[in-house]
Amino acid sequence: MTLNPVRSVPSTNKGSPMLKHYATFSMPGTFFSEDEEIEVKDRIPAHLSKIPKDTYAIYFWDREEAKKGKEVLLGDEKNESVRIIFGTMHTLEEIAKLHGKGSKLYRNIKNNGDGKKKLGILCIPGNWQAYQKGDVVLAHYKDIKSLTEAI
């Protein structure tokens, strides 16, 4: 594990690495997604108390952190979970009917989707994501309360 000095913050950790959990919220950006990460007490989606506006996906990850003097040393991100995506699934055929087989969206889903039956997800904020193996797709933000197991 590589620990990198990043910031000085108060810590009760006296040198031995502690595993911390984080959630990353992805929102559409101008060219790439905008991500906001928060530290969480566990990796149970139902325990998330607030989802930022325009979030289309959430995933969890871990990092070891250790205090060395006044610095907090941060390990690399690890144990990334599956994505939880908020939206509705569409087949490649449905996308062709909506946008045409020549559309950039159709080509992106066809080339980047996972599995034999390529699927696209029309996310709540209006952007599209190609379905990847393991993705959990929820139609509404409130449906996250049904995910009561750690991921």
What's the mean pLDDT in 93-109?
94
CA atoms of 102 and 64, how far apart (whole Å): 46
What's the mean pLDDT in 79-89?
97
Q: Is the pLDDT of residue 63 over 90?
A: yes
Prediction pTM value: 0.83
The average confidence (pLDDT) of the chain is 89
Chain centroid to Cα 1, Å, comes to 23
pLDDT at 114: 79
Q: Is the pLDDT of residue 137 over 80?
A: yes
Q: Is the pLDDT of residue 5 over 50?
A: no
pLDDT at 15: 63
Q: What is the dihedral of CA 43, 69, 75, 29, to 10 degrees?
A: 70
Biggest distance spanned by C-alpha atoms of the chain = 61
Q: What are phi and psi of 109, to 5 degrees?
A: -70, -40
Do residues 1 and 75 lie in contact, with contact meaning Cβ atoms separated by under 8 Å?
yes
Do residues 66 and 17 lie in contact, with contact meaning Cβ atoms separated by under 8 Å?
yes
What's the mean pLDDT in 87-94?
96
